[in-house]
Structure formats: structure tokens, C-alpha cells
Amino acid sequence: MTVVYTHEVAQSNTWNFFKLLFRWRGSLWKVLWPELSLWLVLYTLLSVIYRLLLNEKQQLTFENIVKFWSAYAGNEFVPLTFILGFFVSLVISRWWDMYLSIGSTEKTAVHIACYIEGDDEETVTLRRNIIRYMVVVQTMVLSKVSASVRKRFPNLEAFKTAGLINDSEQQVINDFESVHPKHWLPIYWAMALIKKAHKDGQIPSESYMLDLYTKLSEFRAGLGKLSSYIAVPIPLAYTQVVFLAVRLYFVIALFAEQYLIQSSIGDNAEDGKIRKQPELSFKFAIDLYFPFATVIKFFFYVGWVKVAESLFNPFGTDDDDFDVNAIITKNLQMGLAIVDNGVGKIPEQSRDLYAK
């Protein structure tokens, strides 16, 4: 379910944004803690081995490895930020477009309520069924896309149980033999119903009918776009490059950011080697047992890549993923409510307060 926090930053003072840091759902902390914990455990392990288990010669070798990777592990050896910037931009623009493509029955429902008048049961059923068919096709597409929808609607039987289709409709779908998806069937039913309603005079004008077709078409187009986004993801190699670059950076940092015993006594050991490493001297000025600086880098780089990873497939079960089951329910309930015979009651028209 999307994490909403917009209202809390209505005023942009620092305090409001500061408070955001203490949220858990959808937060940096929640996405980061498993990896950070793992990293810290490994880091400590290495540190302990180096300090307690290795003999002097092995320590020297270890220190050489540390120095070797230290020289590379500046953020210049693989410029993470740049690729992250472009990758996150790409993921976010796809994510937002996916959200806008899910679609809602509201607009169509309001037009149906306007165009198809009548309180008799047949007409009411007609209106309700068009909405229902829209939700059916949406559920069909989303069940391909989202694991949680697939879990709720594993097969047509589940559709029937949930009241989305009835026996007759299940029959028609099953009778239609095709290796290809049948998402278009309910849309076709809705269109055929509308055409029939036009013939029967329930929809008085051809223009109304075509307008409804356009609305249905837009709704279907959104769902089609959604399928495309899922069927043709960002190329695997790109995702792998980004994932690998960030993780390798911190695997290397396991070594590169180790604080060396030797360094804290660097001034005494005037052995030429040390003198050649002026750029490292501050790092070893105080022998910190906790790698503060690296942890901050971890928050930054892994946090940034996690934004991309959690938006990559927004139909999953992450905190920030779209709550598609709720969307389906809302689309059904609201759509049915709008087209039901409850509407049609427009308030009495009277002059407004400001009329002369």
C-alpha cells in the first residue's frame, strides 16, 4: 500500500521533514536494515579476524589488500551516482505511468448514469453489468501483473465466488478457445450490450454510444499499457549492472574501509611505505571501531538503489507498492453505486446565494 506522507510536509520547515525520518513503513530504515546488518556483521568478522587471529605476516598481507582496495574504492573507480541518477529517473517515470494506467471506473460510470436512463430492473442490470465487466477485465489483467491479485483471484472460479462473473459468463469465457489472453472478452460484452441498448432505445443517441466506447477504449488502453510495462521490463543487463555496481562497492568496502592497527602507530613506523600514503592518514588518525563514514555512504547509495528496486515492480508486496486489491474493490463498489438507481435524484434547482 502506498505510503502517504504528503500532508505532513504541507509546510516545508525542517521540523516536518525531520519527523519523516521517524516513520517506519516505506522508510529507508525498513528497506535498509537487513542488508546493513549483514554488512556490519561481515565487517566486524573481518575486523576481528584481522586483529585477533592473524599473525604479523598475515596482518601485513591483509593490510596490503586493504590498501589496494582503498586506492580504488574512492567513488571514482565506478561512478555510482551517475548511473543511479539515470536509472532511478527511468524507474520512477515508468512507475508513475504505471500508476496512471491502472484506471478507474468512475468516469465511465458517471457517463453511463447520464446516458442510460431508466429505473426498471433490466436497465439497472445493464448499467451494473457494464461496470462489472470493466472490473472483470481489470482484475484479469492485474492478476497477471500482481501476485497478490493472483492470490485472491487464482482462476475463474474465484471470480465467480467474488461475484465478479456468473455461471453464464464463466461458460462463455471457457467456451472461447484461444491460446492468447481473453481480456478483451468482457470489454466486447460491454460494447455489445451498449450497442444493444442503443438499438433498444435505452441509449437514445448514437453519439452517447460512441462516447461510451471511447471511455471503454481508454480504460482498456491503460490496462494494455500496464501489461506492456510488465512484459517488457527494463533490460536485465541494465538492472544487473546497477545492482552489481552498488553491491560490489560495499563488498570492496568491507576491505577498503577496515581501520589498520599499523596506521594508528604510523608515525613511529617510518618505513617509507606509510609516507607514500598521505591521503589516507586522516582515516587512520583515530582508530574508530565503527565505520561511521561507510555506514553513511551505505545509507546514501544502497538507500538510493532501494528506491529503484522497490518501484521496479510496483505490483508486488513492498510497502510502497500499489494496493491493487483495494483499487479493484473500490472500482467495483463505487462504479456500481454511481450507476445504480440511487442516482438520478438531482437536487431541486434554485437560485444561488449570489444571484442578483
Restricting to residues 306-345, name those near its own copies by CB under 8 A: 306-307, 309-313, 315-318, 320, 322, 330, 332-334, 336-338, 340, 342-345
* Contacts for 43 with CB less than 8 Å, ≥ 6 apart: 254, 257, 258, 291, 294
Cβ atoms of 277 and 64 closer than 8 Å: no
Matching residue, cell 582515516: 283
Residue 52 Cβ, how far from its own copies at the closest point, in Å? 22
Would you say 4 or 53 has its CB closer to its own copies? 4
CA 332 – CA 136 distance, rounded (Å): 9
Q: What is the rounded (10 degree) CA torsion for 77, 83, 88, 94?
A: -150
Residue 243 Cβ, how far from its own copies at the closest point, in Å? 5
**Residue 318, CA atoms < 13 Å, CB-side half-sphere:** 19
Segment 13-72, which members bind its own copies (CB under 8 A)?
A: 13-14, 17-18, 20-21, 23, 25-28, 31, 34-35, 61, 64-65, 67-72
Segment 286-305, which members bind its own copies (CB under 8 A)?
A: 286, 288, 293, 296-297, 299-300, 303-304
User: What would the grid cell of residue 289 be?
Assistant: 571501531
Would you say 48 or 337 has its CB closer to its own copies? 337
Instruction: Give the DSSP per-residue string, 312-325.
Output: HSTTSSSTTS--HH
Residue 108 Cβ, how far from its own copies at the closest point, in Å? 11
Binder of its own copies out of 90, 120, 157, 290 (CB under 8 A): 90
Stretch that binds its own copies, among 42-50, 51-59, 151-159, 166-174 (CB under 8 A): 166-174
Q: How far out from the chain centre does Cα 117 lie?
A: 40
Would you say 47 or 319 has its CB closer to its own copies? 319
Cβ atoms of 28 and 299 closer than 8 Å: yes
Q: Which burial class, exposed, middle or buried, applies to 47 when counting CB atoms under 10 A from its CB (0-12, 13-18, 19+)?
A: middle
Binder of its own copies out of 33, 45, 82, 151 (CB under 8 A): 82
CA 170 – CA 122 distance, rounded (Å): 21
**Could you tell me which of 207, 206, 229, 226 has the C-alpha nearest to residue 218?**
226
Would you say 47 or 106 has its CB closer to its own copies? 106
Residue 182 Cβ, how far from its own copies at the closest point, in Å? 9
Contact string 219-238 vs its own copies (x = CB under 8 A): -xx--xx--x-xxxxxxxxx
Contact string 192-211 vs its own copies (x = CB under 8 A): xx-x---------xxx--xx
Binder of its own copies out of 44, 58, 285, 290 (CB under 8 A): 285
Cβ atoms of 178 and 172 closer than 8 Å: no
Stretch that binds its own copies, among 41-49, 50-58, 124-132, 151-159 (CB under 8 A): 124-132
Residue 254 Cβ, how far from its own copies at the closest point, in Å? 14
Residue 54 Cβ, how far from its own copies at the closest point, in Å? 15
Would you say 53 or 175 has its CB closer to its own copies? 175
Residue 281 Cβ, how far from its own copies at the closest point, in Å? 4
Q: Does 240 bind its own copies (CB under 8 A)?
A: yes
Q: Please count the other Cβ atoms lying within 10 Å of the Cβ belonging to residue 51.
A: 15
Query: From the CA atom positions of the chain, what is the Rg in Å?
Result: 30
CA 162 – CA 343 distance, rounded (Å): 25
